[in-house]
Amino acid sequence: MHAMAMSPGSSFAGYTVLRLLGSGGMGEVYLAEHPRLPRKDALKILPTQVSQDAAYRDRFLREADLAASLWHPNIVRVNDRGEFDGQLWIAMDYIDGMDAGRLLARRHPTGMPVDLVVEIVSAVADALDYSHRNGLLHRDVKPANIMVTNPGDEDDRRILLGDFGIARRSDDISGLTATNATVGTVAYTPPEQLMGGEIDGRADQYALAATAYQLLTGSPLFSHSNTAVVISHHLNTAPPSVSQHRPDLVDLDAALAKALSKAPADRFDRCTDFARALAGQGPALPSRSAVKNTVRATTTGTPRSSTFTSPSSGQPARSRRRWLIPAAAGAIVAVAAAATTWTALHRSPTGSTSTTPSSAIPSSSLASPAGRTPAVSTFAWPAPPPNRPPQGNCPPACNQIPDSAWIEAAALPLYKDYAWPTLAPLSEPVSSPRFKADEMCAAPPTADDERDSALAARIVLPNPPGQWQLQVQILHWRGDTWVAGQRASAVMDSATSLLRTNCSFTAPGVSVSRITEQNVPGHPGQSLTAVLTANGAAPLVAHEYLVSDLRNSTVVEVAMWSTTPPAVDWPTINDDQLLADMVAPLCTAYVNSCTT
């Protein structure tokens, strides 16, 4: 990807760039003149890192060809595609209008008129059903991908669905798309897509319903700055009703609730069926007040079941398809500040097969203190070690942080699978095992905890300088200690804040199933979100990393989730419960970011 946007007049693949239309994690979009025809196209150029992935290139080329075969009045047409100077590109019709997200923010911040939303949903639904009949799923339906021309003119208004660039053939189950199982924006992504399962047109329907909810209310279906929280809500929480924001729209609740069902089998058969129901033209649906959605968790790894129960009868209205939903799903969030220089962290010798500490954590040190309730971890600034040499031109606050802090494991009382860490200074003796700051530890299961797998991770600064490496180790509990299993790694360039999508994983069955770029509110720099999936014998596992600048040092926060959910019913869950019960960091380390 270009370090800077191309300037007007630049040439790319024969096209003449006129101006930048937008940019994001999956490339830049330019308004450009066609090399031969008197026409202006929207030219999307993918990053070099993505373009160099052979599997992604193969999928991109064949699916761009399929997208180019579509013709529908509500689909932005794909005109050409290719590769130039090491970068994939795709040319689409340029639509002179405003995307639905901007239209919402600028003209209707508290929600669009119902008639306009119904018009948008109906047009997009017709486009989606057409693409589904032609064997193509969109997988990224959201307001930003819906273009509206002449939004104030009902007679001359057009609505088009764009960006089929990450579309997928509906019959494609090959490995070419396996590593992109959760491509899409999390705010609109259905549970089955987040889980990396098989998807069909009803996945696009869920995203369209989430889009409709936002257009009607001005707010996302599930809103939170923590991506992991949003994912967990999609998997476990009944969707809020639109009438909570706009009581006059209570008649739309049932249609939205059905289209937003956790199980695809409980949604409408087609997107246009949902659109007709939203417009009040479909068959009568049970009112939302007569529906109770209960999500049950098990501790054995068996699929959950969900039932709709009528309060009047006390009997299930119908049986739902059994649906596997883990109690918590995580995302790796790494915020890399380009202006910060990382100090070299401790590295294990080449060929090491474990990132876990050599000594196991005694079970006695993990007993939960009487009366203690779950809480987000608290941090204590460590005292500087005695006789520490000065560090060049580092600011005074930075000198207060030791080069190699230690994590005290004594204060790791478990609540379900989660623990509270405290940071102990080097100069203070502790009575429990401690771990190096660049080694993230996993606590063993308690007597009533059936979790038998976890992840350990560490961040190192390999050669060449300017790139940090994330190393992940799958762990298996063997009665008295964690045994190292499969291993994986990924490299991120600190200058560009781009994670290589063609990561070389040494562990079979381990893959990055999603990588997206985003900003984390309240934290500097750019962030990356990725979901690591371990297949085969290892369960689905995920971590969250939050790296931010604090008092001229770098804080690395790690959260760990088990795939074995706790034995509780969660028909609904609020953010406070979620943060306390699920997102408590397992281990925390302060790493000095000053140069020596």
pLDDT tops 80 at residue 4: no
Residue 140 annotated among the catalytic residues of the structure = yes
Kindly tell me if the per-residue pLDDT of 380 is higher than 70.
no
Of the listed ranges 61-70, 458-467, 499-508, 576-585, the least confidently predicted one is 576-585
Give the 3-state DSSP-derived string for 472-511, with helices as H, strands as E and coil as C: EEEEEECCCCEEEEEEEEEEEECCCCEECCCCCCCCCCEE
Q: In what order do the strands lie in the sheet with 158-161?
A: 98-99, 146-149, 158-161
Inter-residue contact 567 to 450 (CB < 8 Å):
no
Predicted local distance difference test score (pLDDT) of residue 135: 87
pLDDT tens per residue, range 188-205: 999 888 877 788 999 999
Mean pLDDT of 90-97: 91
Residue 473 has pLDDT above 60, yes or no: no
Q: What is the CA radius of gyration of the chain?
A: 25
Domains and CATH numbers, the chain: 11-93 (3.30.200.20), 98-319 (1.10.510.10), 332-591 (no CATH)
Given a contact cutoff of 8 angstroms between Cβ atoms, the answer to whether 108 and 100 are in contact is no
For the packed helices 201-217 and 114-133, what is the interaxial angle rounded to 10 degrees? 170
Q: What is the DSSP string of 357-392?
A: -SSPPPGGGGPPPTT---------PPPPPTTPPP-T
Instruction: Return the DSSP state at 410.
Output: S
Residue 568 pLDDT more than 90? no
Least confident window among 227-231, 368-372, 542-546: 368-372
3-state secondary structure 105-174: HHHCCCCCCHHHHHHHHHHHHHHHHHHHHCCEECCCCCHHHEEEECCCCCCCCEEEECCHHHCEECCCCC
CA distances from 219 to 36, 198, 216, 246 (A): 44, 28, 8, 12
Higher-scoring residue by pLDDT: 482, 154: 154
- Tokens representing 448 are 């009533």
| Mean pLDDT of the chain, nearest integer | 58
Q: Is the pLDDT of residue 56 over 70?
A: yes
Q: What pTM does this model have?
A: 0.51
pLDDT of residue 178: 31
pLDDT tens digits for range 389-424: 333 332 222 222 232 222 222 222 222 222 222 222
Structure tokens at 370: 């009487």
Percent of the chain whose predicted confidence (pLDDT) is above 90: 28
Summarised one tens digit per residue, pLDDT across range 132-185 is 998 888 888 999 899 999 888 888 899 999 887 544 545 443 322 333 333 347
Length of the chain: 596
What is the per-residue pLDDT across 548-563, written as a single tens digit (0 to 9) for each? 322 222 223 333 322 3
Distances in Å between the Cα of 161 and the Cα atoms of 120, 185, 544 are 10, 15, 33
Most confident segment among 115-119, 367-371, 579-583, 592-596: 115-119
Instruction: Decide which of 288 and 410 is more confident.
Output: 288
| 219-242: b (≥16 Cβ within 10 Å) or e | ebbbebebbbbbbbbbbbbbbbbb
499-525 pLDDT tens trace:
333 333 333 333 333 333 333 344 333
Q: How confident is the model at residue 486 (pLDDT cuts 50, 70, 90)?
A: low
Binned at pLDDT 50, 70 and 90, residue 34 comes out as very high
Of 30-39, 135-144, 166-175, 533-542, the one with minimum mean pLDDT is 533-542
Identify the active-site residue in 41, 53, 140, 204: 140
User: According to the model, what pLDDT value does residue 5 have?
Assistant: 75
The rounded distance, in Å, linking the Cα atoms of 342 and 460 is: 9
In what helix (H) or strand (E) does residue 21 lie, and over which residues does it extend? strand 15-24
User: 32 pairs with which residues across the strands?
Assistant: 17, 41
Comparison of pLDDT for 471 and 95, the residue scoring more: 95
d(CA 255, CA 445): 43
